């Protein structure tokens, strides 16, 4: 099953998202202490977080002041996602992006958030790969990983991965791929309706 999940992960999309102000009103995020490096994790999440391989650790950086706090900006050429925390400042994450032929750019909004999401390959993907399962429940073998941010009505998502060694590469079908640790950190900062800008 693990081998099948690895194969499926290479087929998933890689997209960019825009983030909005922190969403920590819920008591479930009460464990948040350091807003940059400590993330709330559900019980047993740690069992499925593997160390980053080639990706750089997230860090606070100086960033383009044109973007409002809460915006997510993805630079596919740099393989970086930036969550703007205040004018001129952002948290930088390493990401995997769409492989040649599956690149895209544009502006979306976060339309939905899911923890340990299930996966139903879209019709376009099933046409290319009819051997894929029609449904895969959420969990450590699922190529969407620990969290997913859905972008508008598109098939693109910002999501985790069960293949952290692919972060920093152009391997997906258009989705933006992150380590499970980083996508959980981002998920806790973003609310539905956040703006996502994807640049090439």
Catalytic residues: 159, 175
Residue with tokens 């399962």: 133
Percent helix, strand and coil across the chain, each to the nearest 5: 15, 30, 55
State how far the Cα of 193 lies from the Cα of 71, in Å rounded to an integer. 10
State how far the Cα of 179 lies from the Cα of 11, in Å rounded to an integer. 16
DSSP type of residue 45: G
In sequence order, which residues have a C-beta less than 8 Å from that of residue 78 and are 6 or more positions away? none
């Amino acid at each position: 099953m693990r081998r099948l999940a690895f194969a499926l992960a290479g087929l998933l999309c890689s997209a960019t998202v825009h983030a909005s102000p922190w969403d920590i009103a819920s008591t479930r995020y009460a464990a948040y202490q350091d807003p940059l490096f400590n993330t709330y994790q559900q019980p047993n999440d740690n069992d499925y977080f593997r160390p980053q391989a080639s990706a750089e650790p997230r860090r606070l950086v100086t960033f383009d002041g044109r973007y409002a706090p809460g915006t997510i900006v993805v630079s596919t050429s740099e393989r970086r996602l930036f969550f703007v925390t205040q004018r001129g400042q952002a948290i930088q994450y390493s990401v995997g992006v769409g492989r040649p032929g599956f690149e895209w750019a544009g502006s979306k909004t976060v339309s939905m958030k899911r923890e340990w999401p299930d996966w139903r390959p879209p019709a376009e993907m099933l046409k290319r790969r009819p051997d894929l399962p029609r449904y895969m429940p959420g969990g450590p073998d699922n190529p969407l990983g620990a969290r997913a941010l859905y972008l508008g009505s598109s098939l693109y998502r910002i999501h985790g991965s069960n293949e952290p060694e692919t972060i920093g590469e152009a391997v997906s079908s258009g989705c933006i791929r992150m380590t499970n640790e980083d996508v959980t950190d981002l998920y806790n900062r973003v609310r539905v309706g956040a703006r996502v800008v994807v640049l090439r």
